[in-house]
Amino acid sequence: MSDDLRARLRAIPPFPAELPSFEPGATPESPGVLFVDWFEQAASAGVLAAQAGVLATNDETGPSARVLTLKDVDIATDAWEVATPADSRPGSAMTTTPRAALTFFWPALGRQVRIEGRVVRASTEESAADFLARPASARAVSLVGRPTPTLTDDAAYEGALAASSQRVIADPTLVPESWALWRIVADSVEFWQASHGRAHTRLRYRRADGDWARERLWP
């Protein structure tokens, strides 16, 4: 690595000068409620893609991670919902190893939320409803098959996309069999608030005997 790059990596500030405060003693009993509050604050602060989190999974080939869109948070069960095809890498990993971690980072507020839990695949009806709520253009893209493991020809993709756009127009209720909604039922959720003095405030909710325990963590 060049000295220039090392210096640049050190120089870029991760957070703005002003950071919100976080009082762990004044938090709700369940992490879902606090998450929605923090998410609303992040969206209002103009954080781009505040609804996008990094989903980490594991399977026999090892760990992998990617950005997915948060679809909903079920406050009653403290479950975070994401959607991805069952035959994608995250989908097949969540099928064989139904545990996952989902991490959100909202730099404008110096906040990170880390969710870990077991994965439950939603019903066919719920997955179909999620798919049909997407815009037609997104549904057309998702309906393009992948005849080869890698893309070797842009024209082949464009042709397949045109064909699947026609299918969506002909049948607006079309849902790919593989489309799936997944719930990450949290057993641990950590809220992390940066502080410029590096005395970051960390609060972890841990499911214990059907209830939530709240614990402070060292910065």
Ligand X SMILES: Cc1cc2nc3c(=O)[nH]c(=O)nc-3n(C[C@H](O)[C@H](O)[C@H](O)COP(=O)(O)O)c2cc1C
Q: How far is the CB of 66 from ligand X (least distance, A)?
A: 4
> In terms of DSSP bridges, do strands 99-106 and 52-59 run parallel, antiparallel, or are they unpaired?
antiparallel
Stretch that binds ligand X, among 13-21, 63-71, 108-116, 180-188 (CB under 6 A): 63-71
What span, in angstroms and rounded, lies between the C-alpha atoms of 155 and 201? 51
DSSP string, 114-176: EEEEEEEEPPHHHHHHHHHTS-HHHHHHHH---SSSS---HHHHHHHHHHHHHHHHH-TT---
**Contact flag: residue 73 with ligand X (CB under 6 A):** no
The residues, any chain, with a CB within 8 Å of residue 199's CB and separated by 6 or more, are 219
**Contact flag: residue 66 with ligand X (CB under 6 A):** yes
**Contact flag: residue 69 with ligand X (CB under 6 A):** yes
Q: How far is the CB of 21 from ligand X (least distance, A)?
A: 29
Q: Write the burial class of residue 117 (CB in 10 Å: 0-12 exposed, 13-18 middle, 19+ buried).
A: buried
Nearer to ligand X, 68 or 143 (CB): 68
Nearer to ligand X, 92 or 165 (CB): 92
Nearer to ligand X, 104 or 191 (CB): 104
Stretch that binds ligand X, among 80-88, 131-139, 188-196, 200-208 (CB under 6 A): 80-88
Q: Write the burial class of residue 79 (CB in 10 Å: 0-12 exposed, 13-18 middle, 19+ buried).
A: buried
What span, in angstroms and rounded, lies between the C-alpha atoms of 171 and 12? 50
Question: Looking only at residues 34 through 53 of this chain, which bind ligand X when binding is defined by CB under 6 A?
Answer: 49, 52
**Contact flag: residue 83 with ligand X (CB under 6 A):** yes
Stretch that binds ligand X, among 1-9, 38-46, 84-92, 95-103 (CB under 6 A): 84-92
**Contact flag: residue 67 with ligand X (CB under 6 A):** yes
Q: How far is the CB of 39 from ligand X (least distance, A)?
A: 15
197-201 long-range contacts, CB within 8 A, separation 24+: 201/22, 201/24
Residues at the interface with ligand X (CB under 6 A)? 49, 52, 66-69, 83-84, 88-89
